[in-house]
Amino acid sequence: MFSRLYLHIPWCLRKCGYCAFNSRPLEPHQLEQTCHLLLQEMELAAAAWSTNQPLQSVYLGGGTPSLLSAEQVSRLLACSRSLFGHADDAEITLEANPGTVTLDPLTGYYQAGVSRLSLGAQSFNDQLLQTLGRRHTASETRSAFQLAQQAGFSSIGLDLICGLPEQTMADWQQDLAAALALQPDHLSVYGLTIEEDTPFAGRYPAGSDALPDHDLSASMLEEADSSLTAAGYDHYEIANFARPGCRSQHNCGYWQRDGYLGIGPGAHSFLRQGWGIRWGNQGDFETWAAAIQNNRLAAIEQQELTREDALSEYIFLGLRMADGISLNGFAEEFGERLEHRFSEAIHQLQQAGLLTCSQDRLCLTKQGMLLSNQVFVRFL
Ligand code: SF4
């Protein structure tokens, strides 16, 4: 029913101005309490849901999981291993904030079984980092990267954001060059979105002059594609680039609709049962914690997918990946031909240069990756 596990650590040193993730400024005693509750929730989930195969990947995300001590990470992974089993080659990723890491905990994470580190660099421009409200500097990112290598990590990824307030194309090219100089295995590249109820929404209302316009933002994403692919990275998903063999297996699982269990406040789960079952956990930390303390899972909004829900998800998740969708795989899963059902939409999107359809695969073009939302609505 699931082969992947996500553990959510909802704490950060402070909240960044653009952040709409489920994260809050840390009060120190809460880390150990959270760790304890995550262990308890894993026990409750293991009693409720069985899995017939060991986990292929575990992802510690947040928030800032690198606030955890190595001993806490070790306890979480030992619990997951004993309850669910880990495949011998399971990918275990931890998200780290460059401003929070030193050599000892990084070494401890590695020894605890973390195989992949994802560093939230976001930018190598100190002024832009300050605008974002990040605590770290570019030099701390470089130092965190080197410490991670010293600790034993051979698989290190970086996250970058473009389309930042006052950011120019030259700034962005420097960010890409600085990231490439570190030779990470993996790069995630996101365009800034201004989310409601964040300080950025007040500071940068729609149409604000400080934000790059639509054309410049699109050009920045095109620049990322051309410079990273020229450097040998595979643009394997709309926002993700990897050296050969270094794709994020965990995230590929999301796009391929593998089952996953989400543990922690606000974490989402998807089980492969029937057409699929999805739910989210209570996002509010206290409400989530109270449920777990009372030996109850904190699931809300459980949804059993219909065939049509599953079919739509299969298309718009699968199309996110450069490999696209297997037309035969679709026919096996849904008993009908995708290219027949959506023949008109596919034809028009091909004409517009947004889709390619060859042999068994339906894929977004480079242009389609930039305009993916315009493609996805045609398959609803
Ligand atoms: S570090 Fe990440 S999760 Fe935490 S507040 Fe900043 S953007 Fe949000």
Note the pLDDT of residue 178.
98
Q: What are phi and psi of 119, to 5 degrees?
A: -95, 125
Antiparallel, parallel or unpaired: β 55-62 and 4-9 = parallel
Domain 308-379, second-level architecture: Orthogonal Bundle (1.10)
Q: Which residues line ligand 1 (CB under 6 A)?
A: 12, 15-16, 19, 21, 23, 62-64, 97, 120
- What distance in Å separates the CA atoms of residue 268 and residue 276, rounded to the nearest whole number? 13
Note the pLDDT of residue 358.
87
Output the CA–CA distances (angstroms, integers) from residue 257 to 265, 304, 317, in the order listed: 22, 14, 8
Q: Which atom of ligand 1 is nearest to the CA of 15?
A: 5
Note the pLDDT of residue 179.
98
Sorted by sequence, the CB contacts under 8 Å of residue 365 that are 6+ apart come out as 353, 354, 355, 356
| Cα 179 to ligand 1 centroid, rounded to whole Å | 20
Ligand 1, atom 6, lies closest to the CA of 16
Q: Which atom of ligand 1 is nearest to the CA of 14?
A: 5
Ligand 1, atom 3, lies closest to the CA of 63
pTM for the model stands at 0.96
Ligand 1, atom 2, lies closest to the CA of 63
- What distance in Å separates the CA atoms of residue 178 and residue 165, rounded to the nearest whole number? 19
- What distance in Å separates the CA atoms of residue 205 and residue 183, rounded to the nearest whole number? 36
Residue type for 183, please?
Q
Q: Which of 9, 19, 68, 95 has most ligand 1 atoms within 8 Å of CB, for mutation? A: 19
Peptide bond before residue 63 is cis, with ω within 30 degrees of 0? yes
Alpha-helix residue ranges (DSSP H) falling in 100-192: 103-112, 126-132, 138-151, 169-181
- What distance in Å separates the CA atoms of residue 295 and residue 7, rounded to the nearest whole number? 18
CATH 3.20.20.70 residue spans of the chain:
4-254
**CB-CB contact of 134 with 151 (8 Å):** no
- What distance in Å separates the CA atoms of residue 190 and residue 5, rounded to the nearest whole number? 23
- Say whether domain 4-254 belongs to CATH 3.20.20.70: yes
Note the pLDDT of residue 170.
98
Q: Which of 9, 11, 12, 161 has most ligand 1 atoms within 8 Å of CB, for mutation? A: 12
In the numeric block, the tokens 């262990």 are attached to: 39
Q: What are phi and psi of 329, to 5 degrees?
A: -60, -40
Reading the block at residue 139, the tokens are 């030099």
- Count CA atoms within 13 Å of residue 305 on its CB side: 20
Reading the block at residue 81, the tokens are 């291993």
Residues of the chain with pLDDT under 70: none
- Other CB atoms closer than 10 Å to residue 82's CB: what's the count? 11
Note the pLDDT of residue 51.
83
CATH 1.10.10.920 residue spans of the chain:
308-379
Alpha-helix residue ranges (DSSP H) falling in 49-137: 70-84, 103-112, 126-132
Alpha-helix residue ranges (DSSP H) falling in the chain: 30-48, 70-84, 103-112, 126-132, 138-151, 169-181, 199-203, 214-230, 249-255, 285-293, 307-318, 327-334, 338-341, 343-351, 366-370, 372-376
